[in-house]
Structure 1
């Protein structure tokens, strides 16, 4: 039996052990994991330095280096994310009634784990802790296949989690790590439909497409994050400025950063004059429609079909629209079903926007940067699904479970 088949089989076997643990026992292990991450921060940072040195050597993009970089604060965020997961209700075993049939049989549905989840990711070492903790609490085994860019960091974090599992006499295979980033092994991993129940890729669009096209296991797809802010004719322009700057400049290399700005023509003159000097000072490169071009220096005027880029940098696309419908049409054409934001003081317009826009997260007067599992109260997230089966948006504990039917009778037989 090869490395990957053996790893997958052991993960499936280990997942059965979780079914025997109570919520209290799982929470005790998770708290110990959070404590261990803090205690071994220096060890993890040392491994991360090795990955960062390799990243510089191979001229990785600034966005990828940002995702790869760990700091004491980011490790603390990982630990706090696990502690939030501890505080959340355990979905496993939650039961809801579907009523009693005329023949007297009682129908219920109960939440159960998916089984084994496989994470395939690039320069995101935090996924190791996030996915490990989420899958553990939701009763799933997890197989982690990180990219070569983050291998040292991911292995260091996994070793910390394995130490805790060993302390509690639990199999390390509950959080399995593929130790070799060889693509041939990844191909083999994607064929393990006998043992793996779901694959979640996290990374660039190329990785998502590759996994989707080659996997025989169901795949949760998270394509690019082309997020827009629409400044409505009834917007508070000061609030709009705050949302724009936070969404675009706070952290550019993440999928919930703003990539597009849509402005209603009635407020375009005032708002674009307001933000132009701010963008100039922040070195934000502006790409825009011809109507917005006069407000900025050194712009690139976009053709109709050139919107919809995921820049992951201090760069943005701006378009002026004639009305609300124009904004919706632009989002429908160029959005990526990730996160869309409206700034408006008109409550009815806000509700209409939320109902009209097809995105996994739709916000009124709040920064796109809140489109994150931790910020939305999920603890951590295992991914953001931009397709609708079986989850949509940031995936937390409940998204890592499914439901089975429980039928109770007193001897009924079907006529």
Structure 2
């Protein structure tokens, strides 16, 4: 099937979904969850084949971790679909409304985007998340996964489509877009057929889509995320947050990649942090001021811009909060930035001055996630400033239109 044929089918499915009630869409989500649960063995077998190919090709451990599915991760995908069914339906919500002096009623209401193309690397859990979010928000999904997860994605999409049919919904509401790399270019050229593209993956993929697409793009970004330990920070709290943000799952975009320690806190904090990080298997790429407190790999300029997605951490001692903010302005990708402090004035200043999709005070950046924020699953984390910013849940997958209702008024 050609990309044009798939987009045509997707537009027909989107038209049907646009008028579907919440009850109908929720029934579809539960049916998709049931079908995916029943297909667990087939999904895991397909994923094992993908993982074996990746490992044989020398893929890094971090990327293999993103690719790998386990029974718990499949169960999480199933539960994510059911969680979406519990959430309110954004379609039809009135964003604002008023009545003009002439009696014309004006309402701005949420509507589906239409046909959403999602281009992503590895992470087959995105397949279920994206399919579910698009369904609940009334959109048809065209899913262009990477070749590394081809078998996994095919097995997941087959289950999701079975669920849609069982619920009496169009199977073409969720389609996998296979084929060579040229297919991605066809999707990016399908203006008028695809309403929006969302790239999710490494910097190279995102940059290519943003620069080359003729279809409007919602840009997701890589996560060069910083954690700042302020002079007033409680060392134990700071260490617990750091270890969670770096070690709990290092291969994801909301993991911390750079540690900045206030000079007044360095002598207390770094003798605690460096051994704890080493014990957790983290390699610290530190500047000379960090090296004064323990063994580190000498940091290079490239370390400050690197999203490691692994058990590596860049670290520097900064003179004050001004220096930390300057470092973040220079190197941040606008994803998630964290401050650990006991100072209310420092917290206020940090949240006001840091330009990122998420700013955290005394909490791990691992909370920057659709599920953790109560959105259910997420399509990705947008680092742009138009329409959607931060974790993209149901509301972010809608647009709006104005509905004007009168009683025969005409404009003089």
Q: TM-score, normalised by structure 2?
A: 0.97
Give 1:360's aligned residue. Answer: 357
**C-alpha distance in 1, partners of 2:358/2:83?**
21
**C-alpha distance in 2, partners of 1:376/1:244?**
20
User: Which residues of 2 match residues 47-196 of structure 1 at below 5 A?
Assistant: 47-180=46-179, 182-196=180-194
Give the secondary structure class of the aligned counterpart of 1:291. helix
Shift of 1:289: 2.1
Give 2:315's aligned residue. Answer: 318
Give 1:208's aligned residue. Answer: 206
**C-alpha distance in 1, partners of 2:83/2:65?**
24
| CA shift in 2, pair 1:111/1:298, >3 Å | closer
Residue 371 (structure 1) aligned with residue 368 (structure 2): yes
Give 1:243's aligned residue. Answer: 241
**C-alpha distance in 2, partners of 1:179/1:205?**
22
Shift of 1:296: 2.1
Give the secondary structure class of the aligned counterpart of 2:403. strand
8 A contact 1:290–1:302 mirrored in 2: no
Shift of 1:306: 4.9
Query: Which residue of 323, 326, 333 maps to 2:330?
Result: 333
Give 2:289's aligned residue. Answer: 291
**C-alpha distance in 1, partners of 2:364/2:117?**
31
**C-alpha distance in 2, partners of 1:55/1:73?**
21
Superposition misfits of 4+ residues, deviation over 3 angstroms: none
Give 2:339's aligned residue. Answer: 342
8 A contact 2:90–2:394 mirrored in 1: yes
Give 2:261's aligned residue. Answer: 263
Shift of 1:52: 0.7
**C-alpha distance in 2, partners of 1:205/1:20?**
37
Q: Structure 1: 5+ residue runs without aligned partners?
A: none
Give the secondary structure class of the aligned counterpart of 1:207. helix
**C-alpha distance in 2, partners of 1:133/1:412?**
42
Deviations 1:48-77 (A, max 9, x none): 011011111211121111110000110111
Q: Structure 2: 5+ residue runs without aligned partners?
A: none
Give the secondary structure class of the aligned counterpart of 1:292. helix
**C-alpha distance in 2, partners of 1:122/1:139?**
24
Deviations 1:235-288 (A, max 9, x none): 111010001111111111110111000111111111001112112222321112
Q: TM-score, normalised by structure 1?
A: 0.97
- Give the RMSD, CA atoms, in angstroms: 1.3
Give 2:411's aligned residue. Answer: 414
